[in-house]
Amino acid sequence: MDSDLLALLRSVDTPTVCNAIEVAQGKRGFDDFTRGTMLCSAPQSPAIVGYARTARIQAVHPPSDSPEVVRARRMAYYKYMSEGPRPAVAVVQDMDAPNAIGAYWGEVNTNIHKAFGLSGALTDGVMRDLGDLPEGFPVVAGSVGPSHSFVHVIDYGLPVDICGLPVAPGALVHADRHGGVVIPEDVVPRLADAIAQLVRSEKIVFDAVKDKRIDFEQFEAAWAAFEAART
């Protein structure tokens, strides 16, 4: 990914990206985003941006495989997460969701994945150790809880679903305290221009109403200019 585009995407929030995708596509209806309320370990941090490294986990019941198989799969998972294009995001589906109980994302795993060069994690599962997680590795999760329970890796490198958002391995993900989106591949070359157009058009409204008292006629004129600019 172009370094300028990466910096731009990290500087804007996920709702802006959703709107900009629609600007780039020239239509409403983009729907590759998470559903429901998600939690962010560092709400004021820059957005998480990167190519998805996917996996699935489970925690309610202990694994049925032998300890040797479980360990081999775990280490293969870590190897997978350490590889691939950067920037990257760990996108991990918890098969126990929406009743997930095992916190996979705590102080240990966040530091490991950050050391691998990943930008953050998007999961419908559980996070913990809030206040002790490393800076520069935000986690956007489905819930917060105290225990890791029997959490273990089921598989990795396959398509996953995070709160209604299908994510394929290698998909370009943008996530923050609002949730996550997958940016369509064909939109990427037009995304910077779309964000700029979106910012310009919204500025028309903001300049007209922020910290001001206006009448309806003034609003109507500003809104007409806004609609003309965004189309």
Q: What is the pLDDT of residues 42-58, one digit of tens each?
A: 999 999 999 999 999 99
Determine what percent of the chain is predicted with pLDDT higher than 90.
97
pLDDT given at position 230:
73
Mean pLDDT across the stretch 148-164? Answer: 98
pLDDT at residue 224 above 70? yes
pLDDT given at position 231:
61
pLDDT at residue 7 above 80? yes
Mean pLDDT across the stretch 148-162? Answer: 98
Domain ranges of the chain: 31-183, 189-230
DSSP per-residue codes, 187-216: GHHHHHHHHHHHHHHHHHHHHHHTT----H
Is 32 annotated in some ligand binding site?
no
The arrangement of secondary structure in 31-183, i.e. its CATH architecture, is: 3-Layer(bba) Sandwich (3.50)
Is 128 annotated in some ligand binding site?
yes
In the structure, what pLDDT confidence band is assigned to residue 99 with cuts at 50, 70 and 90? Answer: very high
pLDDT at residue 86 above 70? yes
pLDDT given at position 106:
98
| Type of residue numbered 156 | Y
> Rounded mean pLDDT of the chain?
96
Mean pLDDT across the stretch 219-223? Answer: 95
In the structure, what pLDDT confidence band is assigned to residue 229 with cuts at 50, 70 and 90? Answer: confident
Neighbours of 172 (CB within 10 A): 21
pLDDT given at position 105:
98
pTM (predicted TM-score)? 0.94
State phi, psi for 175 to the nearest 5 degrees: -145, 145
Mean pLDDT across the stretch 156-173? Answer: 98
